[in-house]
Amino acid sequence: MMAYGCPADAVDEYLRLGETTALLCLEHFVQGIIDLFGEEYLRRPTPEDLQRLLDTGEERGFPGMIGSIDCMHWEWKNCPTAWKGQYTRGSGKPTIVLEAVASEDLWIWHAFFGPPGTLNDINVLDRSPIFDDILQGRAPKVNYTVNGHNYRLTYYLTDGIYPNWDTFVQSIREPQGPKASLFATKQEAVRKDVERAFGVLQARFAIVKNPALLWDKIKIGKIMRACIILHNMIVEDERDKYTLTDVSVFEQPESSRSSHVDLNFSTQMPTNLHNVMGMLTIRNEVRDNQIHQRLKVDLVENI
């Protein structure tokens, strides 16, 4: 059912199971995957993970980049009639949104599933917990240098709808001159990581590609969560077989790297930001338009 996306009553003759029993088996299997493997394969990046992501980003011309972010819509065939207006955009079908961050090897580092399909990427971002660790002081400390300037907040590559924050770098819509054109070409090529991750996820698990047949949104969310966990398990198993990156460049001493993560920092540390002012300061730093513009100029020069 997960791999081929078939309905529950399509397997009754082959498995000698009733429709309700097949659905129950699917629910138990999905819950078991989440309970057993969710903590490892849907973890937030550890300092070692961050260092590897930063090294890969630097090798591809984007120091400080830890992935690309985008949203995907999953059609909900059996959406309750009373909710259809909330989940349907225009004259389309009801959908549920998945916001995800993916790296070059297609590992999905962040998955936020559940917002109704009427929301665009910015509205989903406003509800997303993607920056909670940074705001609450739980994120590992990062320092990196681009074009001689030091930065301490990592960023994601995005498409044009995302805001001009310090943590997002978009392409240049109408590039003028060879430098801007080269940057736009490179950014759009690297940003496709998350699009590829969505495509591979749907190809491996047709249940995510086909319209969702369940009525219960919580159960649909668990299926999506289990599919992402299994996807990450496959990525980990196959990672070394198709990598195109020369890993020898990552083995150089830390002093020669422009990106550095504090490896002594624990992601389990309790936050030391007990006051609202501290969180507001970090929030303003994340949304700083001036740093965003300077970072973009530095990246153009770097590439």
Burial bucket for residue 145 (CB in 10 Å: 0-12, 13-18, 19+): middle
Alpha carbons 164 and 254: distance in angstroms, whole number: 31
Question: What average pLDDT does the segment 25-38 reach?
Answer: 95
Mean pLDDT of 110-120: 92
The predicted-structure confidence for 224-251, as pLDDT tens digits, reads as follows 999 999 999 999 998 776 555 554 544 5
- What are the structural domain ranges in the chain? 8-302
Task: Report which residue type is found at 158.
Answer: T
Listed in sequence order, the DSSP H helices in the chain are 12-15, 19-41, 47-59, 84-87, 121-127, 132-135, 178-204, 206-209, 217-238, 276-286, 289-302
Percent of the chain clearing pLDDT 70 (strictly above): 87
∠ CA(169), CA(196), CA(216), 5° rounding?
A: 100
